């Protein structure tokens, strides 16, 4: 079976970043995907931007504000991919992230989540890297949550 990725983007008043975020996904070297943007009760300016999204792979779901975790779960419940990438509405993803991440996951069934370093930009520019300390430290600090490619069954086994 060809891997299919559901990209979930929770959005609360981050409309100004969405076009760049969505384009960074649409320009991936891996193209078997759907993009689900979950608007979490944004203001009218963001809603207007969302209403102008017309790409066939992008679906927008509107809900009352329930915070980021509820928006991610709404996206998951409406997704069909066997892999999930949940990114924030102001994130950009390297063009080859999905292809490289899927290669690791497909060839290593014991691995459930793939993440990467992050290059932070805007207010300050720096390269973010996990500081070490083993898997417990990594999971405790949730260092991979903003750009982690995860097997669907991992999401399911944790309640969605």
At 82-97, the pLDDT tens digits run 999 999 998 888 999 9
DSSP secondary structure string for all residues of 10-69: EESS-HHHHHHHHHHHHT-S---EEEEEEEES--HHHHHHHHT---TTEEEEEE----HH
At 5-58, the pLDDT tens digits run 999 999 999 999 999 999 999 999 999 999 999 999 999 999 999 999 999 999
Q: Inform me whether the pLDDT recorded for 107 exceeds 90.
A: yes
At 134-151, the pLDDT tens digits run 555 555 555 555 678 999
Break the chain into its structural domains and give their ranges: 5-157
Q: Which pTM does this prediction carry?
A: 0.86
If one looks up domain 5-157 in CATH, what number appears? 3.90.550.10
How long is the chain? 160
């Amino acid at each position: 079976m060809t891997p299919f990725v559901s990209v979930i983007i929770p959005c609360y008043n981050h409309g100004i970043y969405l076009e760049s975020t969505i384009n960074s996904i649409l320009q991936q070297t891996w193209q078997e995907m759907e993009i689900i943007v979950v608007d979490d009760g944004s203001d009218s300016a963001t809603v207007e931007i969302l209403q102008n999204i017309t790409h066939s792979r992008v679906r927008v779901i509107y809900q009352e504000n329930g915070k980021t975790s509820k928006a991610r779960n709404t996206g998951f419940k409406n997704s069909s991919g066997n892999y999930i990438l949940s990114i924030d509405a102001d994130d950009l993803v390297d063009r080859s992230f999905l292809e490289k991440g899927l290669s690791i996951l497909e060839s290593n069934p014991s691995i459930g989540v793939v993440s990467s370093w992050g290059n932070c930009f805007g207010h300050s520019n720096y390269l973010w890297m996990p500081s070490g300390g083993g898997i417990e430290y990594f999971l405790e600090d949730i260092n991979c949550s903003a750009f982690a490619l995860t097997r669907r069954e991992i999401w399911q086994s944790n309640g969605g």
